[in-house]
Amino acid sequence: MTTASTSPTVVIVPGLRDHVAEHWQTLLADRLDNVRTVPPLERDRLSRAARVAALDEVITSIDGPIVLVAHSAGVITTVHWAQRPTRQVRGALLATPPDMELPLPEGHPSFDEIEAGAWNPIPRRRLPFPSIVAASTNDPLAGFRRVTGMAEAWGSRLVDLGEVGHLNPASGYGYWPQAEELVAELVGARGEIAS
């Protein structure tokens, strides 16, 4: 079944924890009319290839323009997906990407698990669509300078969110009003977002 629309479909790309009820992505999806969410993986949860394939499956089921809204490992999934020829993506909001090239804090997948899942290296080529990287200055999963370098390599406009941790419920964040503003900016984008 395909979805046809003249206004972009917002595609939510969650991180490795998939769907969290009080997460800003879940709350944003509840507030939007034309939205699809990449479903949770039942197996191969740490496989980059499986996550890229799941994202591709959602995208190929949509007719018309798309705006991607990715968080955490969903950002890395998105940039890996974007290395192939892309379809109808108008833009992407890439919030708090983790630096999977370095060991993550305890409670997250180990470096060996990340390597086994083929997440690295993180692609550093310019994205073929406008993008905004929303970065935290105190994200435990990535240093601000490293995220700034990713944004620059991807051709993304960097939005400094200040000290918001990983911008998730564990950091004290649920509803994130700025997400709606940034998505609206991307919905109206015609290639002028990137710096």
What is the model's pLDDT at position 21?
85
Residue 81 has pLDDT above 70, yes or no: yes
Q: Give the least confident one: 2-6, 57-61, 112-116, 146-150.
A: 2-6
- 130 with 186: CB under 8 angstroms? yes
Residues 157, 193: Cα–Cα separation, whole Å: 7
What is the model's pLDDT at position 173?
85
Both ends of the chain: CA-CA distance in Å? 37
Q: Using alpha carbons, select from 178, 165, 86 the residue that is nearest to residue 123.
A: 86
pLDDT, mean of residues 137-160? 97
pTM: 0.92
Residue 153 has pLDDT above 60, yes or no: yes
**How would you label 31-51 residue by residue, b for 16+ Cβ within 10 Å and e otherwise?**
eeebbbbbeeeeeeebbbebb
pLDDT, mean of residues 126-153? 97
Which helix or strand (DSSP H or E) is residue 127 part of?
A: none
What is the model's pLDDT at position 56?
95
Domains along the sequence of the chain with CATH: 3-182 (3.40.50.1820)
pLDDT band at 189 (very low <50, low <70, confident <90, very high): low
pLDDT tens figures, 22-54 = 899 999 999 998 999 999 998 888 999 999 999
